[in-house]
Structure 1
Amino acid sequence: MKPGPPCRNGPSHVAIIMDGNGRWAQARGRPRLYGHNAGARRVREIVETCPELGVKYLTVFAFSTENWKRTQTEVAGLMSLFRRYITREARVLRDQGVRVRFIGDRLRLDKKLVTLMDELEEITANNDLLHLTVALNYGSRDEVARATQRLARDVAAGRLNPDDVNEETLPKYLDTYVLPDPDLVIRTSGEARISNFLLWQSAYAEYEFVDTLWPDFNRDLFARVVRAYGRRERRFGAVTA
């Protein structure tokens, strides 16, 4: 991948709630996992498009802490899909200059998957063209709770003064501590909710809810949304003079 000219005033960090895989499959008379496989293939296209649009950071919501409530068959199929995806895409991502990170609680994931995640992070650690973050077994409330536990331990151990805890301190304990906050959050499939995704980080992000189901969300639609962002006026609570 080669970086292209950035969109004027375009977002540096785009986060995507990839929704609609199951409905896409059901509309075709296929099982939900068929849609998840189609959605995984779409990720590659969006990843390849980011540098063309000047997007430096891409964060995708792959599996939430609430998704464990789905059927055992679907959950097992998704975990198998994640393992296959990492195995298949690892070399491609490395050679394309993509740095991969995973956020979320890894304790509940199977050891083989966690090993693959660790290996992918390691072999792409020196890449800098695009920073791809995959939220896997991730929930923002869970993330904040885990961050607060770590912060409390530092306070109890005397490494942190309670009076120094403020809105600049807590982000250092979040899973995303090395990433900038997202500029733009996209949700596909027509649902207008944020589903416990990057709640702290997206406090001032722009949101775009699109009707297209994720497997149909192609590079042209993505480019259209990214370019539309450049026409928005971001005031961060201030008033335009």
Structure 2
Amino acid sequence: MSRVADEAQKNRPRHVAIIMDGNGRWATQRKRPRLFGHQAGARRVREIVEACPELGVHYLTIFAFSTENWKRTQSEVAGLMSLFRRYIAKEMQEFMRQGVRVRFIGDRVRLDAKLRALMDEVEALTIANDRTHLTIALNYGGRDEVARATRRLAQEVAADRLHPDEVDETTLARFLDTCVLPDPDLVIRTSGEARISNFLLWQSAYAEYEFIDTLWPDFTPEVFESVLENFGNRERRFGAVPA
């Protein structure tokens, strides 16, 4: 990497989280079924993951399916679950080739057994990789995550393995799905919607946000880089006054 490129990366976020929105609208604009848009979105994920090392992004977290997405039509949910299974199986060796470590966050209980087995398999296969850390939020909701973490914490207190006086922000964070990950520096939402949709509520307390009009299937590495450059121009104070 050149000295200029290295200097540019110093102001890049280390951990980027993305709410991948707009697949359905992208398909509708082309008079195609919504699943066609989800398939295009899945292909875009590969390109963005591939671009991360050059752009200085070490951790990428993507919102694939929320706890609220079960409200969609049965056919769309079934199509998405089938797409997730195919995507993981197809990309498994590519993840290895590129040095990508894959993790999943969210409640796996409601997912079908075959999908859960694939998730376990790719996590185990890529456990030693460290070039890019890809976290996929699948059947994930921020409030659900905090509730599950609180329940586990309460069980530790009830079993006398943890004293109530020891419970603070750091303690609770250890019980979150993302306990081994740094908090995101930047959260991006595509498709022009300006809401966070129950995504990484705890972790994004001090993240910068970018809401862009681009639909997810059109979110190219070039668009990604331009958003990262905007981040580099921001001053992050974390509650302090400017230096």
* TM-score class normalised by the smaller sequence: over 0.9
Shift of 1:9: 1.3
- Which residue, 160, 163, 168 being the options, matches 1:161? 163
Residues 71-109 of structure 1, C-alpha deviation per residue, up to 9 Å, x if partnerless? 000000000000000011000011110000000000000
Runs of 4+ displaced beyond 4 Å:
none
Is 1:101 the counterpart of 2:103 in the alignment? yes
Shift of 1:7: 1.7
- Which residue, 113, 116, 125 being the options, matches 2:115? 113
| Matched ranges for 1:32-111 at <5 A | 32-111=34-113
- What SS does structure 1 have at the residue aligned with 2:49? helix
- Which residue, 5, 27, 31 being the options, matches 1:25? 27
Q: What corresponds to 1:222 in structure 2?
A: 224
Inter-partner Cα distance in structure 2 for 1:150 and 1:101:
20
Inter-partner Cα distance in structure 2 for 1:64 and 1:56:
24
Inter-partner Cα distance in structure 2 for 1:87 and 1:164:
42
Residues 190-222 of structure 1, C-alpha deviation per residue, up to 9 Å, x if partnerless? 000000000000000000000000000000000
Shift of 1:173: 0.2
Inter-partner Cα distance in structure 2 for 1:162 and 1:124:
37
Inter-partner Cα distance in structure 1 for 2:55 and 2:97:
19
Q: What corresponds to 2:152 in structure 1?
A: 150
- What SS does structure 2 have at the residue aligned with 1:168? helix
Give the structure with the larger helix fraction: 2
Inter-partner Cα distance in structure 1 for 2:179 and 2:49:
22
Inter-partner Cα distance in structure 2 for 1:159 and 1:32:
48
Aligned-partner residue type, residue 177 of structure 1: C
Inter-partner Cα distance in structure 2 for 1:48 and 1:224:
16
Inter-partner Cα distance in structure 2 for 1:166 and 1:215:
40
Q: What corresponds to 1:237 in structure 2?
A: 239
Aligned-partner residue type, residue 167 of structure 2: V
Inter-partner Cα distance in structure 2 for 1:167 and 1:125:
28
**Unaligned 5+ runs, structure 2:** none
Q: What corresponds to 1:127 in structure 2?
A: 129
**Unaligned 5+ runs, structure 1:** none
Shift of 1:8: 3.0
Q: CA RMSD in A?
A: 0.8
Aligned length: 238
- What SS does structure 2 have at the residue aligned with 1:173? coil
Q: What corresponds to 1:16 in structure 2?
A: 18
Contact 1:7–1:227 under 8 Å retained in 2: no
Residues 163-184 of structure 1, C-alpha deviation per residue, up to 9 Å, x if partnerless? 0101111000000000000000
- What SS does structure 1 have at the residue aligned with 2:47? helix
Residues 3-28 of structure 1, C-alpha deviation per residue, up to 9 Å, x if partnerless? x7462311000000000000000010
Inter-partner Cα distance in structure 1 for 2:142 and 2:197:
9
